[in-house]
C-alpha cells in the first residue's frame, strides 16, 4: 500500500512541481525555483515512503564555495536522499534521453542541468563547456554519480570520466561521498520501496592542485578509494 501511495505522490509531485519549474525557467534563468522545488519534491517522497536519512561529514564543506560532489549510486533513492541534505545549489549530469520525458524532461532542461549525449562526443564536450559557464555564473555545484548508472550488485562499478574532466577544467574540488542502505530499500528492477534508513557520508574535498588531464587516472583512483573508504564506515 505504501509503495502505491508513494508512486502516486511521485507522479503528482512531478507533474505539479515539474510544471512550475519548467514555466519558471523561462524567466528564472538561474533556476532558483528549481532549488526550492527539488527539495520539496524529495522531502515529500521520503516522508511518504517512510525513509529517514542520517548524514555525516557536512562540517568538511564551505557553504560559500562550489563543489563537484561524487557519490556511489545504489538506487533511484540516492538523489532523493542527497538533494535536500546538501546545502548547495545542486545540478546533475543528466542523460539526453531524460529530456524526452514529459514535464520532467522540460523541468531538468529549464533548470540548467548538464545534459549529456553519450552517443555524441562533440555534443558531450559542448555540454561540459556550457556547464563551466553556468557554474561560474550562478555559483552552482554539481552532483555526479561517476558510475553513470545504478549498481545492480551494490558494489562500486567502473567510473566514467565526464565529472573528472569538468573538475580539472574548472579547478573545482571534488567531494567524495558514500551512500548506504538505498540498495536494500529499492533493489534493482523493483518498484517496491521499503521504509528504512539511508546513511550518507561526506568526505573531505579533494583539491585539483597537482592533477592534470595527463594524471586524470590517478585522480579517478583517488576519488574511488575515498568513496570506498567512506562506504566502509557504515
Average pLDDT over residues 69-81: 94
How many other CB atoms are found less than 10 A from the CB of residue 129?
11
DSSP the chain: -HHHHHHHHHHHHHHHHHHHHHHHTTT-TT-HHHHHHHHHHHHHHHHHHTEEEEEE-GGG--TTS--EEEE---STHHHHHHGGGS-S-EEEEEEGGGGGSTTHHHHHHHTT-EEE-TT-HHHHHHHHHHHHHHHHHHT-EEEE-TTSS--SSSS--PPPSHHHHHHHHH-PPEEEEEEESHHHHS-TT---PPPEEEEEEE---B--TT--GGGHHHHHHHHHHHHHHHHTT-
Domain encompassing residue 150: 51-95+114-231
| pTM for the predicted model, two decimal places | 0.91
Look at residue 190 in the predicted model and tell me its pLDDT: 83
Cα–Cα distances (Å) from 123 to 2, 54, 126, 160, in that order, read 41, 38, 5, 16
Contacts of 114 (CB under 8 A, 6+ apart): 91, 92, 93, 94, 127, 128, 130, 131, 134, 142, 166
Question: Is the pLDDT reported for residue 82 higher than 90?
Answer: yes
Lowest mean pLDDT among 24-38, 76-90, 112-126, 189-203: 112-126
Question: Is the pLDDT reported for residue 203 higher than 90?
Answer: yes
Instruction: Encode pLDDT of 169-202 as tens digits.
Output: 999 999 999 999 999 999 888 888 999 999 999 9
CATH number at residue 145: 3.40.1130.10
Considering the domain boundaries, does residue 43 fall inside one? Answer: no
Look at residue 115 in the predicted model and tell me its pLDDT: 84
Nearest one of 102, 49, 92 to 69, comparing CA atoms? 92
Q: pLDDT tier at 166 (50, 70, 90 boundaries)?
A: very high
Question: Is the pLDDT reported for residue 95 higher than 90?
Answer: no
Considering the domain boundaries, does residue 38 fall inside one? Answer: no
The Cα 69–Cα 92 span in angstroms is 10
The Cα 213–Cα 209 span in angstroms is 12
How many structural domains does the chain have?
1
Instruction: Encode pLDDT of 101-136 as tens digits.
Output: 999 989 988 888 888 877 777 777 777 888 888 888
Considering the domain boundaries, does residue 55 fall inside one? Answer: yes
Considering the domain boundaries, does residue 169 fall inside one? Answer: yes
Considering the domain boundaries, does residue 22 fall inside one? Answer: no
Look at residue 35 in the predicted model and tell me its pLDDT: 92
Question: Is the pLDDT reported for residue 233 higher than 80?
Answer: no
Look at residue 229 in the predicted model and tell me its pLDDT: 95
Report strand pairing: 141-144 vs 114-116: unpaired
Average pLDDT over residues 162-173: 93
Considering the domain boundaries, does residue 211 fall inside one? Answer: yes
Average pLDDT over residues 152-172: 90
Q: For all residues of the chain together, what is the average pLDDT?
A: 90
Considering the domain boundaries, does residue 103 fall inside one? Answer: no
Helix 32-49 crosses helix 2-24 at what angle (to 10 degrees)? 180
Considering the domain boundaries, does residue 121 fall inside one? Answer: yes
Average pLDDT over residues 41-65: 94
Amino acid at each position: 500500500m505504501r509503495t502505491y501511495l508513494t508512486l502516486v505522490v511521485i507522479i503528482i509531485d512531478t507533474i505539479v512541481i515539474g510544471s512550475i519549474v519548467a514555466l519558471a525557467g523561462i524567466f528564472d534563468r538561474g533556476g532558483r525555483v528549481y532549488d526550492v522545488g527539488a527539495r520539496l519534491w524529495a522531502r515529500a517522497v521520503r516522508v511518504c515512503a517512510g525513509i529517514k536519512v542520517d548524514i555525516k561529514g557536512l562540517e568538511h564543506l564551505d557553504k560559500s564555495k562550489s563543489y563537484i560532489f561524487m557519490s556511489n549510486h545504489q538506487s533511484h533513492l540516492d538523489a532523493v536522499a542527497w538533494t535536500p541534505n546538501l546545502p548547495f545549489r545542486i545540478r546533475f549530469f543528466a542523460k539526453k534521453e531524460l529530456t524526452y520525458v514529459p514535464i520532467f524532461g522540460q523541468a531538468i532542461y529549464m533548470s540548467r542541468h548538464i545534459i549529456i549525449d553519450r552517443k555524441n562526443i562533440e555534443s558531450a564536450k559542448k555540454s561540459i563547456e556550457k556547464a563551466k559557464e553556468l557554474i561560474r555564473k550562478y555559483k552552482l555545484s554539481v552532483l555526479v554519480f561517476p558510475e553513470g548508472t545504478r549498481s545492480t550488485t551494490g558494489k562500486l562499478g567502473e567510473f566514467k570520466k565526464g565529472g573528472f574532466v569538468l573538475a580539472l577544467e574548472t579547478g573545482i574540488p571534488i567531494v567524495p561521498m558514500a551512500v548506504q542502505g538505498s540498495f536494500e530499500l529499492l533493489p534493482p528492477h523493483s518498484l517496491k520501496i521499503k521504509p528504512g534508513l539511508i546513511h550518507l557520508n561526506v568526505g573531505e574535498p579533494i583539491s585539483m592542485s597537482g592533477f592534470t588531464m595527463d594524471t586524470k587516472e590517478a585522480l579517478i583512483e583517488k576519488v574511488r578509494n575515498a568513496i570506498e573508504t567512506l562506504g566502509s564506515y557504515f
